[in-house]
Structure 1
Amino acid sequence: MYGINSLIKSGSLEAAYPLHSGTYKWTVSGPLSDRQIYYKICLKITNYEMPRTEMEFDSSYIYKCYILDCINHFGSLMFFGFIMGRALDHPGVVISNPVSEAFYRNCAGLSCTFEMAVLQLTIWFVRSCFKMFTKLIIPYLNVKKRQKQHDSKFPNQKLRQWESDYLLNKSERYRIAHEYLDTVAEYGYVTFFISSFPLAPLCGFLTNIMHLRIDAYKSITLYRRPNAKKVPKLICFTKLLQATTYFGILTNAAMIAFNSDLVPKEIYRMYYNASLEGISHQQFSKIPTSTVYSFYKYKANEETCYYNQIRDDNQNKTLLYWWILAIRFAVLLGIEHIVFLVQGFVAYMIPDVPYSVQEQIAHQKKIQSDRRETEFSFNINRKKSVRETERFVLIK
């Protein structure tokens, strides 16, 4: 039994610095309430830029929204995964203000993986309910309000189809683009931290089924028909999905390398003891309780405090600490490159366009080429015949 949770439960170890309280007020409400605000800011900034073409304008606006979406949606998870508790070197550090406390406060276990899983599950549930309320219930109430106002003014008037459609909600220019950005954000929740919350694909699958029905009902019955516009591709969403995939590979590799005890366990198994007996003496350092600043009262082992760091008696980092840190970076690079190689191999083996479709495209191009050659030869022969006819007419 070498885990910190087991040591705390057994009474042989007590928390020496403040633990996270488990409240997620801002981290859940932030991604839901700030989105419409910075979308308007992005649109104003893009108007100031004045891009040359409409496609450049749309791409610039969507890129800005995507960057702010990543900060808004995944900033709290990044904080829990890679920043929270990293600033605290050893117990006894005096926390002077609430801002410093947010960085010094640590999670209950060796990492914040459990807190990240709970936070992701909470975000999935609250986000789905919030989206259903804002995307379905509010537009529905607005339509009913307009219809009721019209019926009160003209009680006996029967509206035609186009007149009743005018009472529906106006379809904004970037409504479909915002729906795509919402889908990209869900894809980010699935790919970025799947190592800490393996149920994210299942949550994404269930929410996508629900959102697909909601979006279909909303587009048909609650919004006016938008102006049809033909575009060659989905502007820049292919690049955004590819960037999300690459960044997800990097974050999951970092979670495995830095937020798990895989590397310390393997090093201890290879160089010290294959049965992992005594690993807690290596993973925990001791410090006199007289130098510890804590909000808790000690019940056992009052002279010595153990904390989750690899330090010497003077609280300095040891050579083993730097050795483990270097191996963590090596594991990060190794996992990243292996996944990139597998992804590149699969992308090479499965082309974007199937072979049968490529054959049909080549066949159509050959038919068009033969048709152009036939037309070209026909025009040349026609010109020759006209010239010969004119010559005979002149001779006559």
Structure 2
Amino acid sequence: MEASSSGITNGKTKVFHPVAKDVNILFDELEAVSSPCKDDDSLLHPGNLTSTSDDASRLEAGGETVPERNKSNGLYFRDGKCRIDYILVYRKSSPQTEKREVFERNIRAEGLQMEKESSLINSDIIFVKLHAPWEVLGRYAEQMNVRMPFRRKIYYLPRRYKFMSRIDKQISRFRRWLPKKPMRLDKETLPDLEENDCYTAPFSQQRIHHFIIHNKETFFNNATRSRIVHHILQRIKYEEGKNKIGLNRLLTNGSYEAAFPLHEGSYRSKNSIRTHGAENHRHLLYECWASWGVWYKYQPLDLVSKEVCQATDIIMCPVCDKYCPFMRLSDSCVYAKVTHLFDNGATVFFAVFMAVWATVFLEFWKRRRAVIAYDWDLIDWEEEEEEIRPQFEAKYSKKERMNPISGKPEPYQAFTDKCSRLIVSASGIFFMICVVIAAVFGIVIYRVVTVSTFAAFKWALIRNNSQVATTGTAVCINFCIIMLLNVLYEKVALLLTNLEQPRTESEWENSFTLKMFLFQFVNLNSSTFYIAFFLGRFTGHPGAYLRLINRWRLEECHPSGCLIDLCMQMGIIMVLKQTWNNFMELGYPLIQNWWTRRKVRQEHGPERKISFPQWEKDYNLQPMNAYGLFDEYLEMILQFGFTTIFVAAFPLAPLLALLNNIIEIRLDAYKFVTQWRRPLASRAKDIGIWYGILEGIGILSVITNAFVIAITSDFIPRLVYAYKYGPCAGQGEAGQKCMVGYVNASLSVFRISDFENRSEPESDGSEFSGTPLKYCRYRDYRDPPHSLVPYGYTLQFWHVLAARLAFIIVFEHLVFCIKHLISYLIPDLPKDLRDRMRREKYLIQEMMYEAELERLQKERKERKKNGKAHHNEWP
């Protein structure tokens, strides 16, 4: 969103002055509006913007009025005429003086105008203000295919719109009890906002008479101006005779400390926005986006337990060697009740619902994306319009070939060079994934070692809950490892992506995004996959336990099942990560900015009030992430995975995600508007590779939830017992009475004298009945010790295994069929939008033809008029 002296825009191209009757303004008339800016690089003022410079005095003496506000708000040069499009910051003490001088000299050679100011806080800091005049903007806008308005849109209202408007009026009568205009932007707070949409087309200087240009200084909005200047700065050399170009490298080597476009003034105002309107776009965003008072509006842009609790006579075998005691099954009553909340018949339907919801969400997002792309004039923007990355151009400038689309020569990367770089990059990705697996292996070792340690603890609370304590501490340690590895992953992903040398910015972003997502996803979910599908599955049985490195006995599930461990893993990781992300996104910038303001007050004294210019205020804010909105996208994608992949094990994940998003929308708004420097505007047709990742997560969620229900939960064993082995077996009935005896049927018997020496517990179990125990129970389907094949698998085990495999196949095919059906039934483009686009294409062709015909008629009339005048002058 951008602000100008004439009004405020809101995402789309807006026109604030009355539209001229003749929109085809001639080029010679436009050239008459000359820029008053002067290139003043030699004058270095101390930053006092309240005084009028000599340039401004000369302008005022020449009859041109300089708005006093422009001289004092820090958004213009000292003459009050040239708007600041970009700010560079450096220190005079920096040793990179030569590179900076060459860079600034080339900046002026490109036509950009420059002015310098020293900081009011630190005289060593110099602000370089850059302004792009009309000639530069026009030249580069044409190169960058910047779309600009050339004719007002003509809307037609379909009949269904009229019908729906009548329905909306009837519905609105029943909404009086709701907040005013729920989930809508309250435009009554914006009395100065007039919305006039325009058709747009790539800017061309040869056809400049087709575009609506009321004022050359405001024709390109602020976002476009800063984007063009940034584009220029990324392609300027800073060493003569070498292919060393770009502002990013100068920021890396310390030649410049910062580079950013300016915010449009203060985000606060003494006057109410309802009565006086918004002071600027920043003020508008603060009131209508970052305010908690608008949280409800859109952004200016979703029996078994009973048996366990009563089983006081069932004694369970120890869950670890020596130190773990025998325990009654009824001691796990609380965990069984908690598990039953998630592990019941409704879990299957909830998993199916979430899988279908993920598909519906993505399909409607595609429709919403199409509407947004249309509103923001990006529907016809293609990747072919992108410029080649300066780094790619500098690397392969000696090798060129013809572009098959544009027919122009461009730098070319050989196939063998590209393949070799991709192989090295893939090897780096594989190595980092191995690092994650090694970290998970370390967590597994920690779990199997500490469960015995907690079982021998002095505190009864921890000793009696050794497994829960092991799981809780392991999750916390896992979270710390995740956060540490994330720092390493970002550096490795950046290194590998730059090694690949992508051709365009979108290719670079897609490659970097894919690597970071793979790293983060594996890092965040590897332990979860271990708990869901491997914990307690390969432990063996009492008397024949499988061991790690022939020493440590593998960890078993809790007597109430493995689902409680998975639920704890999901809940702790999700809550801790969301809390940490919110703190780093808002709390950290708040602390940093508070510390900066505190140092300023200490240096200048609290009694002295200084009015700082806008560039000084923005410099003291926190810089935006170097990768733009990447962290925001990544956080949402990982959250989407939490709410879909293991939702059958942790149904609270969607609720936590909803609460987090309601809070984070306002936190992000507050951060962008008040705590961060203004981000650089960029164009994108959609969310890029992120959408493919979302679809992949949706497919993976169906598979994982099928396995969680079939393998991790007790849904299938209970179903098999009810229809095959329970009191209602063969009757086709199901219910609470059919589950009587299930717990006892799911436990096997072990003879204590068959324990290995290193597994034999220190206690003999006499505390339960007064005499040493002879038998204990464990979770499995195995024959008793006095059978023909002691501890062999029972027939019930194979029935449960077959039912689990059958359920996975049926569940996956059913859900995938539903997903494909929904994808087919919901079109990617709304029908009314498709009709409007077709209508507009037709109107654009007509208008282009009429405009060209009108121009030819004017030229013919002028030639006739000139011919008659010449004839009359002939003697």
TM-score range with shorter-chain normalisation? Answer: 0.7 to 0.9
Alignment-mate amino acid for residue 719 of structure 2: E
Residue 16 of structure 1, aligned match among 288, 295, 318: 318
With over 3 angstroms needed to count, the CA separation of the structure-2 counterparts of 1:277 and 1:159, relative to structure 1, is closer
**Contact conserved, 1:192 with 1:247, CA < 8 A, in 2?**
yes
Deviation at 1:331, TM superposition (A): 0.5
1:365-386, Cα deviation, whole Å (9 max, x unpaired): 333455678899999xxxxxxx
Q: Does 1:206 align with 2:659?
A: yes
Deviation at 1:136, TM superposition (A): 1.4
Inter-partner Cα distance in structure 1 for 2:678 and 2:597:
18
**Contact conserved, 2:749 with 2:776, CA < 8 A, in 1?**
yes
More displaced 10-residue stretch of structure 1: 281-290 or 323-332? 281-290
**Contact conserved, 1:257 with 1:332, CA < 8 A, in 2?**
yes
With over 3 angstroms needed to count, the CA separation of the structure-2 counterparts of 1:226 and 1:276, relative to structure 1, is closer
Q: From the CA coordinates, give the structure whose radius of gyration is larger.
A: 2
**Contact conserved, 2:539 with 2:546, CA < 8 A, in 1?**
no
Q: Does 1:139 align with 2:593?
A: no
Alignment-mate amino acid for residue 81 of structure 1: A
Which residue matches 2:838? 362
- DSSP-derived class of the 1:230 partner: coil
TM-score calculated relative to the size of structure 1:
0.85
Residue 336 of structure 1, aligned match among 797, 807, 812: 812
Inter-partner Cα distance in structure 1 for 2:800 and 2:617:
68
1:70-122, Cα deviation, whole Å (9 max, x unpaired): 12222222222111111112112457669975x82122235321222233332
Which residue matches 1:349? 825
Residue 577 of structure 2, aligned match among 123, 127, 130: 127
Inter-partner Cα distance in structure 2 for 1:265 and 1:81:
19
Alignment-mate amino acid for residue 135 of structure 1: E
Which residue matches 1:36? 487
Which residue matches 1:65? 516
Alignment-mate amino acid for residue 10 of structure 1: T
1:290-317, Cα deviation, whole Å (9 max, x unpaired): 1222546324682223221122342233
Deviation at 1:181, TM superposition (A): 0.3
- DSSP-derived class of the 1:185 partner: helix
Q: Which runs of 5+ in 2 are unaligned?
A: 1-302, 321-465, 729-737, 784-788, 856-875
Inter-partner Cα distance in structure 2 for 1:100 and 1:326:
33
Inter-partner Cα distance in structure 1 for 2:550 and 2:588:
37
Residue correspondence of structure 1 range 168-179 to structure 2 within 5 A: 168-179=621-632
Deviation at 1:66, TM superposition (A): 0.8
More strand by share: 2
Residue 310 of structure 1, aligned match among 760, 781, 784: 781
- DSSP-derived class of the 1:10 partner: coil
Residue 501 of structure 2, aligned match among 32, 36, 50: 50
More displaced 10-residue stretch of structure 1: 308-317 or 52-61? 308-317
Deviation at 1:151, TM superposition (A): 4.2
Which residue matches 1:387? none
- DSSP-derived class of the 1:286 partner: strand
Measured on the aligned residues, the alpha-carbon RMSD in Å equals 3.2
More displaced 10-residue stretch of structure 1: 78-87 or 263-272? 263-272
Residue 215 of structure 1, aligned match among 665, 668, 672: 668
- DSSP-derived class of the 1:232 partner: coil
**Contact conserved, 1:4 with 1:110, CA < 8 A, in 2?**
no
Which residue matches 2:411? none
More displaced 10-residue stretch of structure 1: 30-39 or 339-348? 30-39
Alignment-mate amino acid for residue 711 of structure 2: F
**Contact conserved, 1:17 with 1:91, CA < 8 A, in 2?**
no
**Contact conserved, 2:782 with 2:793, CA < 8 A, in 1?**
yes
**Contact conserved, 2:746 with 2:781, CA < 8 A, in 1?**
yes
With over 3 angstroms needed to count, the CA separation of the structure-2 counterparts of 1:294 and 1:75, relative to structure 1, is farther
Which residue matches 1:283? 746
Inter-partner Cα distance in structure 1 for 2:794 and 2:640:
41
> Identity over the aligned pairs, expressed in percent?
25
Deviation at 1:219, TM superposition (A): 1.1
**Contact conserved, 2:536 with 2:562, CA < 8 A, in 1?**
no
Q: Does 1:6 align with 2:308?
A: yes
- DSSP-derived class of the 2:618 partner: helix
Which residue matches 2:641? 188
With over 3 angstroms needed to count, the CA separation of the structure-2 counterparts of 1:285 and 1:249, relative to structure 1, is same
Inter-partner Cα distance in structure 1 for 2:504 and 2:568:
45
1:221-243, Cα deviation, whole Å (9 max, x unpaired): 11111211112221211111111
Residue correspondence of structure 1 range 257-272 to structure 2 within 5 A: 257-272=710-725
Deviation at 1:259, TM superposition (A): 1.6
- DSSP-derived class of the 2:750 partner: strand
Deviation at 1:165, TM superposition (A): 0.5
| 4+ runs deviating over 6 angstroms | 1-5, 372-379
Alignment-mate amino acid for residue 332 of structure 1: I
**Contact conserved, 2:710 with 2:716, CA < 8 A, in 1?**
yes
Inter-partner Cα distance in structure 1 for 2:693 and 2:760:
46
Alignment-mate amino acid for residue 129 of structure 1: T
With over 3 angstroms needed to count, the CA separation of the structure-2 counterparts of 1:134 and 1:295, relative to structure 1, is farther
**Contact conserved, 2:314 with 2:777, CA < 8 A, in 1?**
no
Inter-partner Cα distance in structure 2 for 1:89 and 1:210:
47
Inter-partner Cα distance in structure 1 for 2:851 and 2:305:
81
Inter-partner Cα distance in structure 1 for 2:597 and 2:502:
40
1:117-173, Cα deviation, whole Å (9 max, x unpaired): 233332333223322322212211212223333444455553101211011111123
**Contact conserved, 2:562 with 2:713, CA < 8 A, in 1?**
no
More displaced 10-residue stretch of structure 1: 179-188 or 261-270? 261-270
1:230-270, Cα deviation, whole Å (9 max, x unpaired): 12221211111111111112111111111222222222333
Q: Give the number of aligned pairs.
A: 380
With over 3 angstroms needed to count, the CA separation of the structure-2 counterparts of 1:191 and 1:98, relative to structure 1, is farther
Inter-partner Cα distance in structure 2 for 1:5 and 1:263:
18
Which residue matches 2:289? none
Residue correspondence of structure 1 range 295-306 to structure 2 within 5 A: 295=761, 297=763, 298=765, 299=768, 302-306=773-777
**Contact conserved, 2:647 with 2:653, CA < 8 A, in 1?**
yes
Alignment-mate amino acid for residue 92 of structure 1: G
Inter-partner Cα distance in structure 2 for 1:5 and 1:92:
27
Alignment-mate amino acid for residue 287 of structure 1: F
Inter-partner Cα distance in structure 1 for 2:505 and 2:551:
46
**Contact conserved, 1:59 with 1:236, CA < 8 A, in 2?**
yes
Which residue matches 1:384? none
More displaced 10-residue stretch of structure 1: 132-141 or 106-115? 106-115
Residue correspondence of structure 1 range 89-128 to structure 2 within 5 A: 89-93=540-544, 101=552, 104-128=554-578
Alignment-mate amino acid for residue 576 of structure 2: V
Greater RCO, CA 8 A, separation 6+: 1
Deviation at 1:53, TM superposition (A): 2.4
Inter-partner Cα distance in structure 2 for 1:174 and 1:322:
53
Alignment-mate amino acid for residue 319 of structure 2: Y
**Contact conserved, 1:17 with 1:295, CA < 8 A, in 2?**
no
**Contact conserved, 1:39 with 1:65, CA < 8 A, in 2?**
yes
Q: Does 1:255 align with 2:708?
A: yes
**Contact conserved, 2:622 with 2:677, CA < 8 A, in 1?**
yes
TM-score calculated relative to the size of structure 2:
0.40
Which residue matches 1:83? 534
Which residue matches 1:391? none
Alignment-mate amino acid for residue 128 of structure 1: Q
**Contact conserved, 1:253 with 1:336, CA < 8 A, in 2?**
yes
